[in-house]
Structure 1
Amino acid sequence: MASKSQSAERKARIEEMRRAERARERRNRIITITASAVVVVALVGFGGYILNKESDKKEQQQAAAKAPIKDEKSWDVKKLGRNHVTEPVKYPMTPPVGGDHNQVWMNCQGDVYKEPVPDVNAVHSLEHGAVWVTYNDKASDADVKTLGEKVEKTPYSLMSPVKEQPGAIMLSAWGKQVSVESAGDPRVDQFLTKYVQGAQTPEPGAACTGGMGAQ
């Protein structure tokens, strides 16, 4: 009788252990499924946040591209001409925003020139949709550095000094120009957003490399 009793107890313990094991497995599965669900929800939420952020950024850029720029000047470039010439051109504004120009453009793939560049070549870059950032002695070294770093990150832009210009810092596109006093002026980013390969571009998509480099 003792042997049968011990055998029954042993079977009961084994069955209890099996039940406990099954219970642990169920708990582990629940924990794993719950953790996976939390991760998925977090990833979906993060992905949605990124998409919304990118969408907001795109909307802001589109709004900036449409908004008028304070104190911006515009010219009827049809009256300025777009012929290729070999001789110097006397432009009616400094820096020029359009007109006849040399057949070779200044490289404008974020190129920062430490010395003045020929107007007739820079104007050709504007025809390709570039924004030309210029400065004179009134601009601080810090502003020049900040602008240079911004231009280097901006395809279809170039930068150079223009001593004779009236404003400390000026941004020019084909037929468009604005003057600012500091690199921190919000119109700098607004002008770049609006006119780099903007609607004013006579030859959108034309090259900004393979032209004239640093002198």
Structure 2
Amino acid sequence: MTNPTKPASGGPNKGQQPKRPVSKGATRAAQSKKIVNQRQTPWGLIIAAIVIVALAVGVVGYAVHQNRSKADYANPAKIPGITHKSFPSGEHKTTVLSYAESPPIGGPHSPIWADCSGTVYPNQIANENAVHDLEHGAVWITYKPGLPSDQLDVLTKLASGQDYTILTPYAGLKTNVSLQAWGYQLFVDKATDSRVKRFIKALRLNQKNTPELGASCSNPAFKTTPSTPGHPTES
């Protein structure tokens, strides 16, 4: 006779222990452990940090490049085609002088400077007076007579009303345009050449290059009656 208290042999539960129900506490513990494991590697924060660092490096690199570019732009030695020569300053002569450079860029000169308060002279003036302007920190822009009017307009706008700048024609100029500062010179074929503005920016009132920085560039009497080549204003 079969024992009613025992399951029949060969049944589906033979040899198996009955499953115990999982407690709520165990479920919560497993979920908490899973969350902790997920938080151990905060990939989102890591990626965000990498992006921020990359952007910061890019910004710093760009700033360094910009500063270097500005420094190069303001450095006359970096202007392609420019020439430089050193001269003693303060040597005044009341005679007609000969210069190795044409136009001259330094050396002895008249004790009287040409008005260089952004003055545009329609005719060539004496070298001796213009060189004195360079000693005061002016940029002297010269052009070949007969320069096309559109190019002359460009030069006029660069010089007119700009203190420590003068513009004059210059006979025998080897190019259409040349620029002079104390000890520096640049020859170009076009007034629109980008080096023209760069020369002016770098060398007008250049603290390292101007022998008499702070000296006046105004001379109303000269502006009214300019000198002519071979006849410098002497007093």
Counting only pairs closer than 5 Å after superposition, residues 151-190 of structure 1 correspond to structure 2 as 151-190=159-198
Paired position in structure 2 for 1:32: none
Alignment match of 2:111 (pick from 79, 103, 112): 103
User: Residues 144-168 of structure 1, C-alpha deviation per residue, up to 9 Å, x if partnerless?
Assistant: 1110111114211100000122121
Q: Who is 1:205 aligned against?
A: 214
1:58, distance to aligned residue in structure 2 (A): 9.6
Q: Is 2:119–2:161's contact at 8 Å kept on the other side of the alignment? A: no
RMSD: 2.0
Does residue 128 (structure 1) correspond to residue 136 (structure 2)? The answer is: yes
Provide the secondary structure at the position in 1 that maps to 2:178. Answer: strand
- Structure 1 regions of 5+ residues with no counterpart? 1-56
Identity %: 31
Which 5+ residue runs of structure 2 have no aligned equivalent? 1-65, 227-235
State the TM-score, normalized to the length of structure 2.
0.62
Matched, 1:72 2:82: yes
Change over 3 Å in CA distance of 1:210–1:73 after alignment to 2:
same
Higher helix share: 1
Q: How is 1:129-144 mapped onto 2 (pairs within 5 angstroms)?
A: 129-137=137-145, 139-144=147-152
Q: Deviations over 1:156-208 (max 9, x none)?
A: 11000001221210000000000011111010010000000012110111100
1:174–1:200: 8 Å Cα contact kept in structure 2? yes
Shift of 1:66: 2.0
Structure with larger Rg: 2
How many corresponding residue pairs?
Answer: 157
Counterpart mapping for 1:6-45 below 5 A: none
Quick one: structure 1 residues 137 and 115, their matched pair in 2 at CA, closer, same or farther if it must change by over 3 Å?
A: closer
Counterparts of 2:102 and 2:223 in 1: how far apart (Å)?
A: 21
Taking structure 1 as the reference length, what is the TM-score of the superposition? 0.68
